[in-house]
Structures are given as C-alpha cells and as structure tokens.
Amino acid sequence: MSLLVLGLSHRSAPLELLELVALSSERAAQLADTVHRAESVGEAVVVATCNRVEVYADAVTFHGAVSEIGEALSRATSVPMERLREHLYVHYEDRAIAHLFSVACGLDSMAVGEGQILGQLREALRSAQRQQSISSILGDLFQHALRVGKRAHAETEIDRVSGSLIEAGLERAGTTLGPLSQQRVLVVGAGSMSSLAAMTLSRRGARELVILNRTAATAERLATATGGSARPWGALAESLTDADLVISCTGAVGHVIDAASVTAAQTARSGRHQVYVDLALPRDVDPEVGHLAGITLVGLREVGQLLDDSSTAPPVQAVEDLVVGEVGAFLAGRRAKSVAPTVAALRSRAADVVAAELVRLEQRAPSLSEEERAEVQLTVHRVVEKLLHAPSVRMKELAVSGASGDYAQALRDLFDLDPHDVATVSVPPEQGGLA
C-alpha cells in the first residue's frame, strides 16, 4: 500500500470553484467514508477548509485509488469531473508526506504561517477516527504532521511572516478608511476566524467594536472578551448602517450580506465610504456589493495577493528545511516499523526453539537441581540473544537507510519464517494520543 493525496486548493483552483466544492464537516465525513469503502483504498482522511479540499488515502493500487477518489469527490461536491480534473493535484508517497507537513506548518495556506490549519487537521483526524476510516498508516502520518506543525510555530518565526488574513485585511482597509482608532467596526460571526478578527481589532484599538452572531450567547461572550458590544442577528441592517468597516466570516451557505442590504445602508449613511472584508468561503458578501458606489470589497483573493510577498522570507526557508528533515525522519521510522514484524517473528521462533530444548533437557536430565536448571536456562537465553542481536540491529539499520527489503526477505528464508506468521505477529503499539 502507498500514501497519496488528491485535492484542490487556492493554489490550483479559482475561488469560484473552491466555493462550489466547499464541504461542511458532515459532508467531509461522508466523503471520507465513501472513499474508505472504495476497493482501491485502505484508509482515508478528508481535510476540508475554506481554501482546500484534500483526500488523503492509503492506496492499494495507485491508478484505481485516484480514479475512485476523483469520482467520489465529484459526487460529493456535485461538480462534474470534467471541470474538476484540470484543477486537481495528486501527490504520491514522499511528495504526499511533504505536502501534508507543509500544510500543517501553514506553508500552503493563503496566509503563510497561519496556525488555524493545525486545528483543522486535528479535527479531520478525529473525524476519521470516529468513523473508523483510518488506522495506523494515516494515523501515524497525521500525528507526525501535527507535531511538525507545532515545531514550526515553536522553533521558527513563521508566525510573523504574514501575521494573518485579518492583519492583511485590516491593512487593506486602512488604506481606504484611515486609522482604525477612528472607525466603527462590525464583526459578523463568532467562530474561530471572527474571534481572531475581534481580538485583533480590540488590540489595535478600534473606536467601536460590535459583534453580531446568530447565537446571541456566543456573541455576548466574544464581546465581553474583546471589550465590544453584542447585537442580535435581527439588527444586521442597523449594524451595517453604523459600521465603517465590516468583517464577515460565518461559514454559512449563501450570502449573509446582500447588495440590497448594503445599498440601504449606504443610503442611510449618505454615501459615506465603507469597507467590507469577506474572509468566508463560500463568500458571506454578495460579490455585487463590490460594484456599489462608496464600497470597497476585500475578499480572499485580494488578501492572498497582499500576502504573496511573504513567500520568500527567511522564516519560510527555515520551515521548508524543517519539513525536509521531518519527511526523512518519518520515512526512516516507517521503514523501521515495516521490518518490526520480521524481527519479532524471528525472536518468537527463537523463543519457541529455546523452550522446546529446555523441555527436552528436563526429560533427559531430571536430576538437575533447580539452581543448575536455572543456570542452563540463563546460558541458553544469553547465547540466543547474542546470536540474534546483530541481525536484528542490522536489519533495522538497513531499514532506516532504505535497503531493508532483500535483507528482511533473506532472514525470512534463512530462518524459515512463515510470511503469514510475520504479517500477524503482534508488535506493541506506540503510546500517545492526539498530538
């Protein structure tokens, strides 16, 4: 079996297509289950965020898995395969591993270095574990990816490369409206991105901060934490009229802010300029709003363009180097783990031989005292352990170097190890929960 990832992101597809393929957590889980049931797939995890949909799989056959995953993605998103095909990418084995690690570090995000992707990967892993579409192969991979992402943020300065989508959106708004300290700001939504926006606005000293969310209690909590005020969802029209800057990220399906509402707000404001920063996908703000007089609409595409200049920064290079090293470490660990059953089977065979010979000794020399019998048993175990030590260590070394295949097979042949026994031997699992 082999690792592969098939998907599309803001790097390969226009935002209009990403909107069409956006999946809720429930639909992403259904897609993972469908892929997991495919004949050419052993395990599956779906990562669905605002700017990517990716299916990670442990493939039984490469071409069969790619075909089945592509068809499942097309059905799940209701987008014809003909339209998806030119925007899809496929990474295989070490390239798939490197891609996931880069994603975990935020290198593949629209806002380079953003940390929210770690939570999204963790949730994708948990979802796959709940529906049992994942086992040790992808489980180990995602656990390692989460650790790599944490290392990137702890050991490099990747966090300061781009700041965040919020910082970029505020930078763009500032060029039109002026200092934030003079602006009335409305945040629509109270999820993770909206909360980050509210925290940033509070820290930057916005003149007035209003939180509006469908769940009033959530809006109240965020308002209390940021020194703002909360309004009920029904006050959207009034809130749009009062706001100079509107930041929206609700995760809703369909436009939350339409052109008619913004036109009415502009009329009530006597045409005073407004900036709308839409960080949602699918989009919260109707694109037609951007064509209205007195309105500047900043979407994910514009924010992405503002962040492009950060891609060559030294911290990015440091994280790229980290990813290269971690890919090598993961591959070495996987190869070492692959020969563990052969080593365990060899030692199990040796233990059986020792046990049988000790039984024969007891039958042939029943007069041995307990002390003598214990000494003989210890001596035999020491001899066997010394004989097995070198081949066991050498096989693991060759596994790490990538040259273990023939050597492992040679051991199986020389010691007459049954392939079925090797495959089913129990190897103690590594301890640890979610990274």
Question: Tens digit of pLDDT for each residue in 226-270?
Answer: 999 999 999 999 999 999 999 998 877 779 999 999 999 999 999
105 noted as active-site residue: no
CA separation for the pair 240, 257 (Å, rounded): 9
Question: What is the token pair recorded at 338?
Answer: 């692959």
Question: What is the token pair recorded at 201?
Answer: 């606005």
Q: How far is CA 167 from the centre of its chain?
A: 23
Half-sphere exposure of 2 (CA within 13 A, CB side): 15
Return the number of other C-beta atoms located less than 10 Å from residue 284's C-beta. Answer: 24
Question: What is the token pair recorded at 194?
Answer: 């909206």
What class has domain 2-161?
Answer: alpha beta
Residues sharing a CB contact under 8 Å with residue 386, sequence separation 6 or more, in sequence order: none
Give the pLDDT of residue 349.
79
Task: Please state the CATH superfamily assignment of the domain spanning residues 165-310 in this structure.
Answer: NAD(P)-binding Rossmann-like Domain (3.40.50.720)
Question: What is the token pair recorded at 362?
Answer: 């007891």
Q: What share of the chain is helix, strand, coil (3-state, %, to 5)?
A: 60, 15, 25
Is residue 95 over pLDDT 60?
Answer: yes
Q: What is the mean pLDDT of residues 147-156?
A: 94
Which range, of 4-8, 333-337, 421-425, averages the lowest pLDDT?
Answer: 421-425
Q: What is the mean pLDDT of residues 368-396?
A: 84
Give the pLDDT of residue 10.
86
Render 182-207 in DSSP notation, one character per residue.
G-EEEEE--SHHHHHHHHHHHHHT-S
14: left (phi over 0), alpha (psi -120 to 50) or beta: beta
Is residue 164 over pLDDT 70?
Answer: no
Question: What is the token pair recorded at 397?
Answer: 């070394």
Is residue 158 over pLDDT 80?
Answer: yes
Question: What is the token pair recorded at 366?
Answer: 């029943």
Given 50, 245, 262, 306, which residue is catalytic? 50
Q: Which of 9, 7, 1 is nearest to 93 (CA)?
A: 1
Show me where the domains of the chain are located.
2-161, 165-310, 329-424
Contact 317, 102 (CB under 8 A): no
Give the pLDDT of residue 431.
36
CA separation for the pair 309, 317 (Å, rounded): 14
- Would you place residue 295 in the very low, low, confident or very high pLDDT band (cuts 50, 70, 90)? very high
Given strand 52-59, what is the order of strands in its sheet? Answer: 41-49, 52-59, 2-9, 89-92
CA separation for the pair 294, 275 (Å, rounded): 9
- Which residue do the tokens 């700017």 mark? 51
β-bridge partners, 56: 5, 45
What pTM was computed for the model? 0.66
CA separation for the pair 8, 51 (Å, rounded): 9
List C-alpha distances in Å: 249 to 50, 194, 233: 10, 6, 14
Q: Could you give phi then psi for residue 212, rounded to 5 degrees? A: -130, 125
Widest CA span in the chain: 110
